[in-house]
Amino acid sequence: MELQGRNALVFGAGGEVGAQVARVFAREGARMWLSGPRTESVERTADAIRDAGGAIRVWTTGVGTPDSERIVTAASPMPMLVSSFSRS
Share of residues in the chain with pLDDT > 70 (%): 89
Using alpha carbons, select from 66, 23, 76, 3 the residue that is nearest to residue 34.
23
Q: Is position 2 within any domain? A: no
8-state DSSP, 37: S
Q: Is position 88 within any domain? A: no
Q: Is position 18 within any domain? A: yes
Q: Is position 75 within any domain? A: yes
Task: Convert the pLDDT of each residue in 48-62 to its tens digit.
Answer: 999 998 888 887 776
In sequence order, what are the beta bridge partners of 11? 35, 83
Q: Is position 1 within any domain? A: no
Using alpha carbons, select from 3, 25, 4 the residue that is nearest to residue 82.
25
User: Domain limits at 16?
Assistant: 7-83
Q: Is position 73 within any domain? A: yes
- More confidently predicted of 82 and 49: 49
* CA 30 – CA 25 distance, rounded (Å): 6
Q: Is position 51 within any domain? A: yes
pLDDT at 43 over 90: yes
What CATH number should be reported for the domain holding residue 37?
Answer: 3.40.50.720
> In the chain, which residue ranges form alpha helices assigned H by DSSP?
16-27, 39-51, 66-75
Task: Convert the pLDDT of each residue in 7-29 to its tens digit.
Answer: 898 988 999 999 999 999 999 99
Q: Is position 23 within any domain? A: yes
- Res 82: pLDDT: 83
Give the total number of structural domains in the chain.
1
